[in-house]
Amino acid sequence: MSALTVLADDQFKAPSPDELFTFTPIIPGVDWFTKPVLLALLSSVVVIGFCWAAFANPKVVPRGVQNVAEYGYMFVRDQVARPFLGKDADRWMGLLLTLFFLVFLWNIMGVIPILQFPVASHIAFPAVLAISIYVLKVYLGVKHQGAVGYFKNMMFPPGLPKPIYILLSPIEFLSNMIIAPFTHAVRLFANMFAGHMLLAFFSMVGFWFLFEKLTPLGATVGVIGVVMTIIFTAFEIFIQFLQAFLFAMLASMYIGGALHAEH
Amino acid sequence: MSEQERRPEDDGQDFANAAWSIPSYLLAGMAIYGGGGWLLDRWLDTSAFFPIGVVLGIVLSVYLVYRKYGR
Amino acid sequence: MSVLAEVSGNVTAIGYGLAAIGPGIGVGIIFGQGVQAIARQPEAYGLIRQNMLLGFVLTEALALLGLVAPFIFQAL
């Protein structure tokens, strides 16, 4: 992975995942307190503060922060919650709105100057959210369909010939209980990881060929690098929004699937 | 639920459900039968069962998705 | 002849990258044309959806085969 070497006069080294994603502790001696943890804490505080400012004293005619927050609320309710939860949508809005805002903020940290690190590109952060949703899904499924009924609905879809169940039930079980939460977390993680690598690579190209080793031939490559950085930053903002939306949407899909049996 | 009393939202929801769970079904099928084949290979000291298992897993997952969502 | 450029690392990653091109284009075509078909003829939604899903499964299977192909050829 690490050694893409372009042998110009001096060697250009592409940034490796190791140097991009490992951080030294901010306070020496406290090993767990690194930049991603700080950013995650910061985003939690920002989300709490934002919702507090918007919804603590709601006005009938929304102004300022409340206007922005209500726009986000409407988006989450109409695009994420209602299609999958139907009439239960309003009960789950608290969870889904928090999830959407938090993941979106985690992701958008990747393009905010100075911060510039998408928190979700460390697998631990999306994994915790995905595992919580998974536990909630299994709990709700057992509560609403009964322990036997939940697993029966999941592993034995009606309308198949009997002997086929022996072959297909393991697939259903593995897909629902292990692969689904795994892909839920990995989809967010992989997108943020790859996006951060791309941005780092192109800005490194621009910096190296325009500032470190400026040659007439290398300058064109550097300009291409800068232009690509700008294009990919815009693209990344779109991807970051889309992944936050998808994460909340899949969570609402899993909750909806646990509340009502598939037919 | 019969075709008449379905609301349009139900269809969209089913479609999203299907489209998002298809990759997990395929992965699960490959993992189960490919993994079984791999274990058989290790046990019997052969090298044929792993590819067979992977292909069998894909075929079974496609069949499962076909029976579940394809009609 | 001097070395101009060199790539080191795991070649199977390149293999998977190449294997993902075809299914990527395929999935794009399937959903693109499917959405267009639904827009043109909303009353045929059920039929179009069915065939969209079937095509998607078969295409996605190829992409995932590409994912395990390196392991298969390692084992052989």
Which one has a higher pLDDT value, A102 or A215?
Answer: A102
Question: CA C15, CA B63: separation in Å to the nearest integer?
Answer: 27
| Other chains touching C, judged by 3 or more CB pairs under 8 Å | A, B
Within-domain flag for B37: yes
Q: Which two tokens stand for residue B67?
A: 């029976």
Q: Please, which pLDDT band fits residue A229 given cuts at 50, 70 and 90? A: very high
Length of chain B: 71
- Give C6's contacts in chain A (Cβ within 8 Å): 3, 5, 7
Q: How far is A192 from chain B (nearest CA, A)?
A: 19
Give just the sign of the alpha carbon dihedral A169, A174, A175, A176: positive
| From B15, B22, B54, residue closest to C49, measured CB to CB | B15
Model's pTM, two decimal places?
0.86
Domain-wise residue ranges, chain C: 19-75
- Give A4's contacts in chain C (Cβ within 8 Å): 7
| From C49, C50, C61, residue closest to B62, measured CB to CB | C61
Q: Does residue A3 surpass a pLDDT of 60?
A: no
Which one has a higher pLDDT value, A134 or B11?
Answer: A134
- Give C58's contacts in chain B (Cβ within 8 Å): 62
pLDDT for position A10: 61
Which one has a higher pLDDT value, A129 or A215?
Answer: A129
Tally of structural domains, chain B: 1
pLDDT for position A263: 53
pLDDT for position A106: 94
Q: Does A5 touch chain C (CB under 8 A)?
A: yes
Which of these ranges, A96-100, A247-251, B13-17, C5-9, has the smallest mean pLDDT? C5-9
Residue of A nearest to C14 (CA): A1
Q: How far is B45 from chain A (nearest CA, A)?
A: 25
DSSP calls for A80-142: IIHHHHGGGHHHHHHHHHHHHHHHHHHHHTTTSTTT---GGGSTHHHHHHHHHHHHHHHHHHH
Q: How far is B22 from chain A (nearest CA, A)?
A: 9
- B20-65: pLDDT as tens digits: 889 999 999 999 999 999 999 999 998 889 999 999 999 999 999 8
Structural domain that includes position B31: 23-69
- How is domain C19-75 classified at the architecture level of CATH? Up-down Bundle (1.20)
CB contact under 8 A, B21 and A250: no
Question: CA A9, CA A12: separation in Å to the nearest integer?
Answer: 9
| From A83, A160, A263, residue closest to B9, measured CB to CB | A83
Judge residue A94's burial from the number of C-beta atoms within 10 Å of its C-beta, 0-12 exposed, 13-18 middle, 19 or more buried.
exposed
Model ipTM value? 0.81
Helices (H), chain A: 17-21, 35-55, 65-75, 82-85, 89-108, 124-145, 147-155, 164-174, 180-207, 216-259
Q: Does A217 touch chain C (CB under 8 A)?
A: no
Q: How far is C48 from chain A (nearest CA, A)?
A: 20
Counting Cα atoms < 13 Å in the Cβ hemisphere of B5 gives 2
Residue of B nearest to C27 (CA): B19
Residue of B nearest to A78 (CA): B9
Give just the sign of the alpha carbon dihedral C42, C48, C50, C55: negative
Q: Please, which pLDDT band fits residue A165 given cuts at 50, 70 and 90? A: confident
Which of A80, A168, A171 best tests the B interface by mutation, with the highest count of B CBs <10 A? A171
Q: Does C73 touch chain B (CB under 8 A)?
A: no
pLDDT for position A141: 92
Residue pair B58/B29 in contact by the 8 Å Cβ criterion: yes
Within-domain flag for B13: no
What is the pLDDT averaged over residues C11-32? 92
| From B23, B50, B66, residue closest to C72, measured CB to CB | B50
Q: Does residue A103 surpass a pLDDT of 90?
A: yes
Q: Does A156 touch chain B (CB under 8 A)?
A: no
Q: Does residue A160 surpass a pLDDT of 50?
A: yes
- Give B65's contacts in chain C (Cβ within 8 Å): 53, 57
What is the pLDDT averaged over residues C56-70? 90
- Give B1's contacts in chain A (Cβ within 8 Å): 263
Within-domain flag for B31: yes
| Other chains touching B, judged by 3 or more CB pairs under 8 Å | A, C
Q: Does residue B12 surpass a pLDDT of 80?
A: no
- A55-66: pLDDT as tens digits: 888 888 888 888
Within-domain flag for B35: yes
Q: Are strands A4-7 and C5-7 parallel, antiparallel or unpaired?
A: antiparallel
Residue of A nearest to B67 (CA): A160
| From A3, A6, A7, residue closest to C8, measured CB to CB | A3
Residue pair C23/C60 in contact by the 8 Å Cβ criterion: yes
Q: Please, which pLDDT band fits residue C76 given cuts at 50, 70 and 90? A: low
pLDDT for position B7: 52
CB contact under 8 A, A3 and C4: no
Domain-wise residue ranges, chain A: 13-259
Q: Mean pLDDT score of chain A, rounded to an integer?
A: 88
Within-domain flag for B9: no
Question: CA A13, CA A3: separation in Å to the nearest integer?
Answer: 7
CA C73 to chain centre: 20
Q: Does residue C65 surpass a pLDDT of 60?
A: yes
**Of A231, A5, A45, nearest to C7 (Cα)?**
A5
